Amino acid sequence: MATFGLLEQLYTGGLEPGYRLPDPAVDPAKERRVDRLLAEYRELIKDYPPRELERLGEPPAALWKGLKELGLFGMLIAEEYGGLGLSLTQYLRVVEQLSQDDLALALIPLAHLSIGVKGILLFGSDEQKRRYLPKAASGEMIFAFALTEPRVGSDAQHIETRAELANDGSSYLLTGQKTYITNANYAGGMTVFAQLDPQRPGSMGAFIVETGWEGVKIGKDMPKMGLAISSTAAVQLKGVRVPVENLLGRPGDGFKIAMTILNYGRLGLGAGAHGGMRRSVSDMVARAGSRIQFGSPIAKFDLVQEKIARTWAMGFAVGAMTELTARILESDPLANVAIESSHCKLFGTERSWQAIYDALQLAGGSGYIATQPYEKRMRDARVATVFEGTSEIHSIYPPTFVARELGRELKDRGPFKRLGFIAGYWLASPRLPMAPAREPEIREALAATRRAIRGFRRLLLRGLIRYGSSIAKHEFLLRRITSLSLAAYSLVSAVVKIERERSSRGAASSAEAAERLRILRYLTVEARAAIAESLRFDDPPRERLTGTLFADAAAHEARSTGSPTLHPVLS
């Protein structure tokens, strides 16, 4: 049975008695293997510049061969199946480094391991693992993850692909269409999701489907603004006969399996975002030191320093959030880290996009020239805020998730017990899973964390009391609640990382320790501002004006185009 995530516990009631953050086990031999892998990877790609790969549109045969020989497609797969057997934390460290070099190339093994074959790793039977994992580890069979459909994106419970059990009970017949499938034309296998009962949306199956089977048709790669060497295509399924032995888990478990896999996919995006931010810091520091304006290096200008400082601090937070979430999953691979992984994806991809934007801006006119790396990085990174749940979805998801739990708590209690629960929930003082802090920077960060957690709980409770189940329609309120949660998790993660570095390194340099505390103080100041802005319950004036201005804009467009009616949404 999966354990509750850290944030789910903090927001629904409190930490379970005896809860401790996972203490990571470090395998020096595996760490050295990671270092060798990264060194060999960089040696391999020296002959394949990112822009040349983009021009080719796909990895050349020699590069494919090299990636497979390095074991890149088997990083998370156990050694008994031919993989490297890296931990999740080690794997994410590799993803972070690969993303700094070329995000487009990194996405191929990332999609294969984080989501494509992850269902087999987590839910596969022994026979399924023996049949598919050796091929996946060697790169003989690249995997894709097929959930999204032409009419269904984030609302995954209502996918339209159907799976019907054959009359003889030996197989399922899959019919439907998937779209925007990463690795589609590289894949030999896919994890495909389909409805089992049209009357019960969400009662789904997760199936291992081989792309060479009859009835599977993969379309041409879609032209994209970036990530050119990453294959993205539609997949048609016409009566594809899938043996019952290829069902992952039990019938009806498909939605749960999909959501669990996506936790890992979003974590991979967090690691990739961290890599993009580290690359941006390197680019900006180099540019700021070499560019002379008004007789001085631009590194002396406040507005230039601001960009670098912000990216440096936020990059630390993204890395810390991703690492803490990975540690939780290492202790329990099925832990419910839906909120944590959502935060890694939202916080990481939005701030990475800002960092890549700032790096181009700081480069000035030369940053806009296509021979420089910035424009390709912007094109490649742009989709990160869209896939595996848009930023808008992740901006409202955490409180919506917790609201379901609290709604059940309130519904299942009588009037007096309900009042008692509300009072206890409102007044509870959040207990955090760390020892009392010595440094004032850490004490201040944890005080801000507690304020953010109390704000999350109280705003959500007020929303449930006032709006009930219709709270999901009040997205501005939900977004403010999510901002409180982001502030809390970024600070908790940063503190955990700082404490862990101190305990693991022992006599770390005082300069490095002081640097970390300055980063924490910066993050605390940022978090306090976000908390102060988000604590109000009623929508501020700008949000209250949004609906009226939207109606005005739509009406103006209707008049301008001669349309006889307003947009159907407004009718």
pLDDT digits (tens, 9 = 90+) for 301-311: 999 999 999 99
Per-residue pLDDT tens for 504-515? 765 456 778 889
Residue 508's pLDDT is: 52
Read off the tokens for 492.
């908790």
Cα(214)–Cα(239) distance, integer angstroms: 8
Contacts of 130 (CB under 8 A, 6+ apart): 81
- Measured CA to CA, the distance from residue 445 to residue 493 in angstroms comes to 11
- DSSP state, 385? G
> Where do the structural domains in the chain lie, given as residue ranges?
28-140, 143-254, 256-392, 426-539, 543-571
- Is 388 annotated as catalytic? yes
> How far apart are alpha carbons 139 and 72 in whole angstroms?
8
Q: Is the C-alpha dihedral spanning 458, 392, 543, 469 positive or negative?
A: negative
Q: Looking at residue 505, what is its pLDDT?
A: 65
Among candidates 190, 173, 171, which has minimal Cα distance to 182? 190
Determine the topology of domain 426-539 in CATH: Butyryl-CoA Dehydrogenase, subunit A; domain 3 (1.20.140)
CA distances 205 to 2, 174, 182, Å, are 19, 10, 20
- Which pLDDT score, from 0 to 100, does residue 102 have? 95
- The CA distance from 50 to 62, in Å, is 15
Per-residue model confidence (pLDDT) at position 424: 83
For domain 256-392, the CATH superfamily is: Butyryl-CoA Dehydrogenase, subunit A, domain 3 (1.20.140.10)
Domain 28-140 top-level CATH class: mainly alpha
**For the chain, which residues score pLDDT lower than 50?**
1, 507, 570-571
Note whether 144 and 187 are within 8 A (CB).
yes
Equal CATH topology for 143-254 and 426-539: no
d(CA 330, CA 338): 15
* Displacement of CA 226 from its chain's centroid (Å): 19
Integer Cα distance of 308 and 304 in angstroms: 7
The 10 Å Cβ neighbour count of residue 279 is 24
Given 388, 441, 444, 526, which residue is catalytic?
Answer: 388
The rounded distance, in Å, linking the Cα atoms of 421 and 461 is 11
List b or e across 420-446, with b for residues whose CB sees 16 or more CB atoms inside 10 angstroms: ebbeebeeeebebeeeebebebbebbb
Residue 162 and residue 282 in contact, taking contact as beta carbons nearer than 8 Å: no
The reported pLDDT for the residue numbered 507 is: 46
Fold of 143-254: Butyryl-CoA Dehydrogenase, subunit A; domain 2 (2.40.110)
Residue 318 CA to residue 540 CA, distance in Å, equals 29
